[in-house]
Chain A
Amino acid sequence: MTRIALLLIAVSFVLPACAVNEVITAEETELIVAETPPDESLLLDIGVVEFDGSIAADNDPLKSGIHEEIRSAEVRYLPYHLKTTLQGTGHWGAVRVIPSRDAFTDIIISGDIAKSDGEFITLKISVDDARGQHWYSKSYSTQTGISSYSENRDKRVDPYQKVFNDIANDLKTFVGQLPPGTVHEIRQVTELKFFADMSPRAYGEHLTTNEAGQIAIVRLPADNDPAVDRLRQIRERDRLVVDTLNEHYANFYYGIAIPYHSWRKTAREESINYRQVKRSAALQTLMGAVVLAGSLAVDTGSSSYSKSRMQKSLQYIAIEQGIDAIRTGFSRRSEASMHLESIKELSESFGAEAAPMVVTVEGETRRLTGTAAAQYESWRRLLKEIYEAETGFVETADAVDADPVRVPEPTG
């Protein structure tokens, strides 16, 4: 019984030294890069839509780790980094970030940020093609390591780089498995969709859409169709608009990089500290309770007076240590919450710094897309007039759905 009491006392003294230290080494994935430039006719264009960073209305940042200021920046930062990663592989044509799925591009990548706190990231990625066919949906996660934010690291590599490399590699693998001719068909569909959008009278029936929303080619434009050249010129301008949009995204990306990196690094440290302190607090409280219970259970009723006095003394010490451990456990738990508060303050500070950039990029993209939309509308009218002049078919206002009527040529 004396030995038990001594053991309990020893444990209670050793307990504070039980700090749980995490050493995490981040995983890496090597990116598959094209060794020889592929044929231009086999290159597919990719549009990466701004990620979905929607947050629940009842979100508690301290509990969920989701901070609105951070998320509003990540919905543009992360897609742009994915774009640069894909572009660097050499497997693709034009890779651009697009504000919505309305852009005309061969492949559309959309994503949802499920988790991103500097230490962990989880992206739910969905990939579709221009024919409306859903390729796949997959969740990508990684945990950053101690070296991910080291000052001596390769700064060209993002702490979350593994996720982006995985996405790029999977996409390349999937395209490599497509049946022959699919790439060509997708490019044709993209082009015809654009033609139909700009000149529905002329090209509205070249594609057909089934109930599932999948698009198939009905017929192709004639080789000598002069309208095709005209529409391709307009499509080049559409590409230029998207390129210009991407310049705004790029400005935002480079502008937000340093504060975002600082936030991720500090948030990761605080998250780890919080976990460690919380675990330590729980352990300490538990052991304190065990020591206390054990101390109370010690039988101090010995026949020898001196032995009995020693047992009682040890019991008192063990009880005191047990209570002390429990009290320390509670105080460490409150200390853990301070790390969460620290993360919250960091996020607010980041938000103050990032807000002007977010507003700027939102405003610029909206302004440019609005300008382009208005311009396209005027071009659609012109194209309609040209079509009517070339074919003689005029759409009557009274019966838009009826067959067009040929206007008799003036005889005067």
Chain B
Amino acid sequence: MKPSQSTISIPSWIKPLLFIAFAAVVTGACKEQSSSSSGGMPSPPSGGGMPAPPAPPAPPSGGSSGGGGMPPPPMPGGGSEGESSEPSGDSSGSGGEVGSFPGGGDESMGVPPPPSSSGGGAEGGMPGEASDGGDGGDGDSEEASEWEAEETSETSECGDTGSLPGGVGGMGQDGECIGGGGSSSDSDSSSESSSGGGGGGAAGSVQGTGGAGGVGEFPEESDEERAERLGQELDESIGGFDETLQEAQSEISAAGRSTEGFGEGEAGAGGGISLGEQASGGNPISVANTRISRESPIAGMSQDDIRERTPDDIPMMVDDDIIARQLREAALAEDDPALRDRLWEEYRKYSGN
């Protein structure tokens, strides 16, 4: 006697629930993939809309409220409230705004053509909804895989660095990949020295300008404002280069210098002449004329004292000529602050600082 086959009775309300849950899982998977590859799907320019999400297919049996019962899952990068299939981001196509392409160029960027405004978006290779509802599960998985393929193609323009063609904020030139992990901006930012090695050291760094921005990339900015902005960038870059030079000079001064071979023994603290201290020892390489030989008035001054008495805008350089060196020594040796300031002023006038 054959055993009777047992049948499991499933409540009728469970099936639509299952389908909805499955759709939500698939949609969530799509969202995760898109966020990991490109940081968000770029929205196409205006005139089109994001394809409508795959609506949950109608339940195989009646009793359910149909496809309109549940709101569509949120679109990746769209921020839609769920009812609309239009992109929620700014799609004006103007530069400088996150998520938009300056100047469009959707075809070159690999963005699929916008679907028709009637929504649904089943043409053009877009992962459209299954018009007839389909069989649900398989169709959704195909849609998911198509989304993945599109994301891959869209990010391939800039490799897998998470960068956007055209640049976030429109800082780069067209076609350049800016941002992300491994992309490079305009060549003058943070480039290493082209000379040998460039090992550590501040002298190996170039103060980048951050990209000056091409003409037209800040359309709301007038020429005067742009010139002013660029001028500020230049000032900042110059200031940064000053720091680079200062660090290089510090490295040199740390090495010290012995003048033993010139008959005056070792000068300066630490057994050598460091920057700013050569004045204290005088120029050891004197000439065959004893009229200019004299004892320096700051011979006994420590390096800290010299730094303290030297204004910030005056570099601690030793390559002064005889006049500048005498002015510097006089200023350093002067105890009266007012007179010292006047002497530094004279030094500035003479050396052109």
Query: Which residues of A are interface residues toward B (Cβ below 8 A)?
Result: 28-31, 33, 37, 40, 43, 81, 84-85, 87-90, 92-96, 154-158, 161, 165, 230, 233-234, 236-237, 240-241, 243-244, 246-248, 250-251, 254-255, 257-258, 261, 363, 366-371, 373-375, 377-379, 381-383, 385-386, 388-390, 392, 394, 407, 409-410, 412
B227 interface neighbour in A87, A88, A241, A386, Cβ under 8 Å: A386
Cβ proximity bits B229-269 to A, threshold 8 Å, 1 near / 0 not? 01101100110011011001100100101111111100000
Which residues of B (281-334) have their CB < 8 Å from a CB of A? 283-289, 291-292, 315, 317-319, 321-323
**What is the minimal beta-carbon distance from A60 to any residue of chain B, in angstroms?**
31
Judge whether B197 is part of the interface by a CB distance below 8 angstroms.
yes
Once A31-B288, A33-B292, A154-B263 are accepted as A-B contacts, the answer to whether A371 and B195 lie under 8 Å apart by CB is yes
A233 to B219, CA, bound (A): 30
B323 interface neighbour in A37, A367, A377, Cβ under 8 Å: A37
Judge whether B191 is part of the interface by a CB distance below 8 angstroms.
yes
User: Nearest residue in B to A86 (C-beta to C-beta)?
Assistant: B321
A241 to B188, CA, bound (A): 19
B257 interface neighbour in A30, A155, A254, A373, Cβ under 8 Å: A254
Let me know if A244 and B227 touch, CB within 8 A. Answer: no
Contacts of B288 in A (CB 8 A): 28-31, 157, 161, 165
Quick one: which of B226, B234, B259 has the most chain A CB within 10 A?
B234
A93 to B201, CA, bound (A): 31
Ranked nearest first, the 8 interchain pairs of A and B with the lowest CB-CB distance are A370-B195, A155-B263, A378-B188, A257-B261, A389-B227, A156-B286, A258-B261, A84-B285
Judge whether B350 is part of the interface by a CB distance below 8 angstroms.
yes
Question: 16 A-B contacts, Cβ less than 8 Å apart?
Answer: A84-B285, A88-B287, A90-B322, A94-B321, A156-B287, A165-B288, A233-B238, A236-B353, A244-B245, A251-B257, A371-B195, A371-B198, A386-B230, A389-B226, A390-B223, A410-B219
Let me know if A367 and B318 touch, CB within 8 A. Answer: no
Once A154-B263, A251-B255, A383-B234 are accepted as A-B contacts, the answer to whether A367 and B319 lie under 8 Å apart by CB is no
Contacts of A257 in B (CB 8 A): 261-262
Contacts of A390 in B (CB 8 A): 223, 227
A394 interface neighbour in B196, B215, B321, Cβ under 8 Å: B215
Let me know if A367 and B230 touch, CB within 8 A. Answer: no
Let me know if A370 and B322 touch, CB within 8 A. Answer: no
A247 interface neighbour in B195, B237, B284, B318, Cβ under 8 Å: B318
Q: List 16 extra interface pairs beyond A244-B252, A258-B261, CB under 8 A.
A: A96-B319, A156-B262, A161-B287, A230-B234, A243-B315, A254-B257, A254-B273, A255-B257, A258-B260, A366-B195, A368-B248, A371-B244, A373-B194, A378-B206, A381-B212, A389-B227
Judge whether B208 is part of the interface by a CB distance below 8 angstroms.
yes
Contacts of B319 in A (CB 8 A): 94, 96, 243, 246-247
Contacts of B223 in A (CB 8 A): 389-390, 392, 409
Q: How many chain B residues have a CB neighbour from A under 8 Å?
A: 70
**What is the minimal beta-carbon distance from B220 to any residue of chain A, in angstroms?**
8
Contacts of A93 in B (CB 8 A): 321
Judge whether B207 is part of the interface by a CB distance below 8 angstroms.
yes
Let me know if A378 and B196 touch, CB within 8 A. Answer: no
Contacts of A161 in B (CB 8 A): 287-288
A371 interface neighbour in B203, B259, B262, Cβ under 8 Å: B203
**What is the minimal beta-carbon distance from B162 to any residue of chain A, in angstroms?**
26
Once A88-B283, A157-B288 are accepted as A-B contacts, the answer to whether A377 and B188 lie under 8 Å apart by CB is yes
**What is the minimal beta-carbon distance from B133 to any residue of chain A, in angstroms?**
47
Let me know if A241 and B249 touch, CB within 8 A. Answer: no
Contacts of B209 in A (CB 8 A): 378, 381-382
A367 interface neighbour in B203, B215, B353, Cβ under 8 Å: B203
Contacts of A89 in B (CB 8 A): 287, 322
A298 to B42, CA, bound (A): 118
User: Nearest residue in A to B231 (C-beta to C-beta)?
Assistant: A386
**What is the minimal beta-carbon distance from A343 to any residue of chain B, in angstroms?**
21
